[in-house]
Structure 1
Amino acid sequence: MKDWLTDLFNSVEGLVLFVCLALGFALGKIKFWKISLGGVAGTLIVAIFVGMMGVTLNSQVKNIAFALFIFTLGYMSGPSFFASLNKHSLKYGIFTIVEVVTILVVVGLATAILNLDQGTAAGLLAGGATESAVVGTATDAIAKLDLPADQIKTLQGNVGTAYSISYIMGLITIVLFTSQFAPAIMRVNLREEAAKLWEKLGGGSDAEGGATSALPDLVGRAHEVTFATGKTVGQVEAALGESIAIERVRRAGANLDVTSGTRLAAGDVVLLHGRREQLIDGYSVIGPERAGIEGMNVDLDVQEVVLTAPGYGGKTLGDIRASIPQEERHGVFLSGISRMDHNLPVQNGTQINQGDTLRFTGAKRDLASFVPRVGFVIDPSVKMDVIFIAIGVILGMLIGKIEIPLGSIPLSLGTGGGCLLSGLLFGWLRARNPKHGQYHPAAAQVVKDLGLATFICAVGLSSGPQAVDLIKQYGFSLPIAGILVTLIPASISLFVGWKLMKLPAPLTLGAVAGQQCSTPAATAVQQAAGNTTPLMSYTIVYALSNVVLPLLGPIVVALTGAIS
């Protein structure tokens, strides 16, 4: 059976990749208690076992996949990364600093105590930090060592095996620590603390991602004019509140051209659109509600806009609303905010950064006049600007070829570090000049997931032959080291955020999850908190750590090489 499978994989080029992807992502969906490994870790585990059969993946496929993944990672992180370099957000940089310094110290100590080789140490750091990109930057650095080819191959294989072991332990540790153990250590009820913070931000509803509220914030109502006879549209809107708009007025079976000065007459039917809580007074201000009025329906448009306008980044949503006159945002409603693919609370206290994606709802004419002053609209019909992206990857690969001697080690960023930096640059350029470089978030997510999973599959296949030997050599010491690499930085950051910075519990735990770039941990904290307040700090720290941690690959190879 084994020989037959080996022959099949070797005779059908690329078959092993998709077998590992299918089985790996299926394994990654299985939940152990409340934790699932995810498709990338699942693919690595499957690939290691398949690799024991002596099957490998073309090295060019591996390099291309990693280049696409790491460039996309930098591209999508670029606007948020640079936006986080402001006075308010930079204080969260302490969490990334704690992560980087502590994790290097812990890995260095583990190298000295356990006599780890450079590949195993790099895999331990990548898995303990739950940052898959380090696997690529570290294997790039190992390939440049002045060692025999077979030794380099062994070290690169050890990266994948050590990563798979420490990643599993690190993932379980960070999820349990942030969502269960840390709130107990802090002696707080996380759900109550999150509710207090939510109220402080401005309150309101918080439907989970993908859910539709039974009582949506934005609604439409039709009222017959009785009490508002003789009043203008502007006067009625002012009486109801700034978060409503009269979209249509129907008189004697015909629709009028509506302006703020349009005067209402008895028997007119007006169509209101706005926040539910402010439309409740529609009867007392205008007159009785009516339903099923022919010709009164208005199609509202929804546009996703990337914030690029100067002067808004770093401010709270409430400050931005106050700075824009009501007449300039008439009929336009902010219905969603996302950063790094995570939804943030649509509350007055939420800080908005350059590069955030804002979702606006309103009539097309209102959106057309308002949106250009905020940013550029994401065109859903354009998925990716291949020319712009390909040039960015080319530049990244060339940057990765630059070498700086560090003692006897030729230190370079490699393909991973080079493409990460070029991705940051091109993402920033895209935010500055939105006419070029369209990369729809959905398309970017597919490229990231497929690129990383393909690369990890190749690493796992090459790790398979020596996986058993590495596990026998270190035994339980490697999983324990993986736990410590995750737990020690997280514990220090918990103390710093909670005791020294005096951050609210949801923000502290969100930042701890962010320094690990752990989406499962962020999800667990959000579920424990009962709302999305932890994501406010998570997205800032995630943007910083997501850029800094991959650069540790060459550093840990050089560091552990000097120690050993």
Structure 2
Amino acid sequence: MASSVVSFLTQPVVALFVSVSLGHGLGLLRAGPIQLGGVCGTLFVALALGQLGVTIANDLKDTAFALFIFALGFTAGPQFFANIRSGWRYGIFSVIEVATVLLLLAAAVVVLRFDPGTTAGLFAGSATESAVLGTAAEALSRLALPPHEIVRMQANLATSYGVTYLFGLVGIVVFTTQIAPLLLGIDLKAAAHKLAHELGADDNDDYEPGLPNIVGRAFRAGPVAGTTVGDFERSRHNAVTIERIKRGKDILDTTVGMMIAPDDILFLIGRRNSMIAVQDRLGDEVPVPAGTNVPITSRDIVLVRRDVFGLSIRELHRAAGIERNRGVFISAIRRLDRSVPVLPGTRLEQGDILTLYGTEAAIERAIKELGHPLPPTDKTDFIFLGAGIVVGIFLGGLSLKVGALDLTLGTGGGALIAGLAFGWLHMHAPRHGALPTAAAEFLKDFGLATFIAAVGLSAGPDAITLIAQYGIVLPILGLLVSVIPAAVSLLVGARLLRIEAPILLGAIAGQHCSTPTITALVSQSESTMPVVGYTVTYAISNVLLPLMGPVVVGLAASLL
């Protein structure tokens, strides 16, 4: 019976899906804000099954990683290029991450004689960046070493990653949520809410998510009679719009120069809190007159207009002028699939997904001014996807000789660069090259899970050898290599750049590409303010760290 179970489990397809299933189940284990995660859980299960001698074909492993890394680049492309141009103030933390980690890894190679596989695994695990495994594994395969030695180093890569990832994750979460606020002498929740108010949260509705954001109500003109529609709207910072007026039996569309008469009934739409505040300036509230109400709709658009990048929402309204922004409101902002607080002081970036709320005519006008509507499709453009990966593989085959190092992007690096470029192209021409969010997330999640399972299964008995050789050294290094770059960034951000603490801590989470860390920060601060810093460094580090995989391998090989 036992032999038949072992025989069943050693079938490659069975071993793959057992690793993915049990690994993601194991990944649900949580201790406070720390969760193992499906990727690390899959690796642990695959390492265990690998002791039975089961392996996965390299072609499947390479295909899975190419799909994952292309989708990663595709979703990050719009924000990556925007942040490269204008996000240096936060993007410097990604550079600090790479420079500090490379110095620490060089010391580990010289002192502990780590081989390139173990070194790259330490890099991937401590920086909590799984994509490094693919680019580093490919770089290891190109070393001028016997095949069995390359296999051993690739096994060390997976094992070192698995051991150091958990400690790197614990280190960065505890540092950003507990230690860093103490070092800065702040209460994170209070600091986040203070910053939100400085950015205009007092006039915003986002902190009451259980109620509708934009509402419509009707009032008698009362005290505002004798003023123009434009004067009234400007007095409320354009947070309320008079859409229509009932004058006698007539229903009138409004313009900014229209004078309000004493007996007018005004139909207003606007932000909820502003609508409540404006009641004192108007007459009695009345039922919405028949024919006065206007259909309100919601549309998602991609922001591509260059001259508004970096403007705050308040500045955008001023630049547009009262006539062009009447009747349309930004009700949500998504950046790298993260919600960004919609506050008057929130700055807009290229590739932001804006949810516009208002009248159909006003939204159509805003779309022409700001960007492209997201096409309502759930179909993947496989022509675009296939062409993108082929281009990536071609780019990955190019190489550059720098001294003793033979640098090349490899399949993973090439697919990442192609994904960035194709994602940027799709942003500017959204009708072509569709890769819906749900499809991209599946490619990233399943592609990475399959790749990680294949790596873990291939590691086999070599995993035990590495753990026995280094013991407690790897966990300690995983913790140090995670926390030291974060500490350097905290010092630079707080003392030199004077970045607000909630945003700075979010940027540090982003330089590690750590989703659990930003989740913990948002939870602890009870605010989305840390996301503002997170998205910039995440977009840059998500590209920069995987590209460092071959560099780490080459560095370790040259120092041995």
* TM-score, length basis structure 2: 0.93
User: Which has the higher mean CA deviation after the structures are superposed, 325-334 or 523-532?
Assistant: 523-532
In the superposition, relative to structure 1, how do residues 402 and 279 fare at CA in structure 2: closer, same or farther (>3 Å)? same
- Aligned residue number for residue 24 of structure 1: 23
Indicate if the aligned counterparts of 1:193 and 1:506 stay in contact, CA closer than 8 A.
yes
Amino acid at match of 2:326: H
User: 1:279 maps to what in 2?
Assistant: 275
1:481-520 superposed matches below 5 A: 481-520=477-516
State whether residues 6 and 55 of structure 1, in contact with CA within 8 Å, keep that contact through their aligned partners in structure 2.
no
Q: Which residue of 1 aligns with 2:351?
A: 355
Q: Which residue in the other structure is 2:91 paired with?
A: 93
Question: Which has the higher mean CA deviation after the structures are superposed, 148-157 or 412-421?
Answer: 148-157
Instruction: Give the aligned partner of residue 135 of structure 1.
Output: 133
Give the deviation of 1:6 after TM superposition.
Answer: 3.3
Q: Distance in 1 between matches of 2:373 and 2:480?
A: 45
Matched to 1:256, the amino acid is I
Deviation at 1:154, TM superposition (A): 1.6
d(CA) in 1 for partners of 2:413, 2:354: 30
The CA deviation at 1:298 is: 4.4
* SS of equivalent to 2:216: strand
Contact 1:233–1:246, Cα closer than 8 Å, also in 2:
yes
Q: Secondary structure of 2:253's match? A: coil
- Counterpart mapping for 1:106-125 below 5 A: 106-125=104-123
Partner AA of 1:35 in structure 2:
I
Identity of aligned residues (%): 42
Query: What number of residue pairs does the alignment pair up?
Result: 558
Q: Which runs of 5+ in 2 are unaligned?
A: none
Residues of 1 paired with 2:503 and 2:291: CA distance? 48
Residue 70, structure 1, aligned to residue 69, structure 2: yes
What amino acid sits opposite 2:49 in the alignment? V
Q: 2:253 matched to which residue of 1?
A: 258
Q: Assess if the C-alpha contact under 8 Å between 1:227 and 1:284 holds in 2.
A: no
Which shifted more, 39-48 or 120-129?
39-48
CA deviation string 1:528-557 (max 9, x = no partner)? 223122221111111111111111111111
Residue identity in the other structure for 1:55: V
Aligned with 1:394 (options 390, 394, 404): 390
One-letter amino acid of the structure 2 residue matched with residue 390 of structure 1: G
Query: Residue 52 of structure 1 corresponds to which residue in structure 2?
Result: 51
Residue 56 (structure 1) shift: 2.1
Structure 1 partner of 2:552: 556
Please list every run of 5 or more consecutive structure 1 residues that lacks an aligned counterpart in the other structure: none
**Residues 206 and 345 of structure 1 are in contact (CA less than 8 Å); yes or no, is this contact kept in structure 2?**
no
SS of the residue aligned with 1:361? strand
Alignment partner, residue 202 of structure 1: 200
| 3-state SS of 2:376 partner | coil
SS of the residue corresponding to residue 411 of structure 1 reads strand
Superimposed CA distance per residue, residues 145-164 of structure 1 (whole angstroms, 9 cap, x where no aligned partner) = 12222221121111111101
Looking at structure 1, the residues matched to 125 and 530 of structure 2 have their Cα atoms a distance apart, in angstroms, of 23
Q: Deviations over 1:392-415 (max 9, x none)?
A: 111001111123345665432111
Tell me the distance in 1 between the aligned counterparts of 2:226 and 2:183: 63
SS of alignment partner, residue 219 of structure 1: strand
Distance 2:503 2:7 in 1: 53
SS in 2 for 1:14: helix
Contact 1:144 1:410 in 2 (8 A): no
What is the aligned partner in structure 2 of residue 190 from structure 1? 188
* Secondary structure in 2 matching 1:116: coil
Q: Name the SS for the 2:354 alignment partner.
A: strand
Give the TM-score normalised by the residue count of structure 1: 0.92
Q: 1:103 aligns with which of 101, 104, 109?
A: 101
Q: Residue by residue, what CA displacement relative to the aligned partner does 1:444-501 show, whole Å, maximum 9, x if unpaired?
A: 2222111111111111111233211111111001111111111111111111111222
The residue aligned with 2:366 is 370
Take 1:322 and 1:275, find their aligned partners in 2: how far apart are those partners? 17
Q: Which residue of 2 aligns with 1:6?
A: 6
Q: Deviations over 1:163-220 (max 9, x none)?
A: 0111100000000000001111222222222222212211245758xxx723444222
Deviation at 1:82, TM superposition (A): 1.3
Question: Is this contact kept in 1: 2:267–2:288, CA < 8 A?
Answer: no
Contact 1:317/1:347 (8 A) holds in 2: yes
**Structure 2 Cα separation of the partners of residues 547 and 541 of structure 1:** 10
What secondary structure, in the 3-state scheme, does the structure 1 residue paired with 2:434 have?
coil
Deviation at 1:342, TM superposition (A): 1.4
Other-structure match for 1:322: 318
User: Are 2:375 and 2:430, in contact at CA under 8 Å, matched by a contact in 1?
Assistant: no
Q: Secondary structure at the match of 1:404?
A: strand
Displacement after TM superposition at 1:435 (Å): 3.8
Q: What's the counterpart of residue 144 of structure 1?
A: 142
Q: Which moved more, 1:144-153 or 1:306-315?
A: 144-153
Residue 168 of structure 2 contacts residue 481 of structure 2 at CA under 8 Å; is this kept in 1?
yes
Moved more, 297-306 or 175-184: 297-306
Instruction: Report the residue type matching 1:186 in the other structure.
Output: L
Matched with 2:534 is 538
SS of 1:29's equivalent in the other structure is coil
Moved more, 283-292 or 462-471: 283-292
CA RMSD of aligned residues (A): 2.5
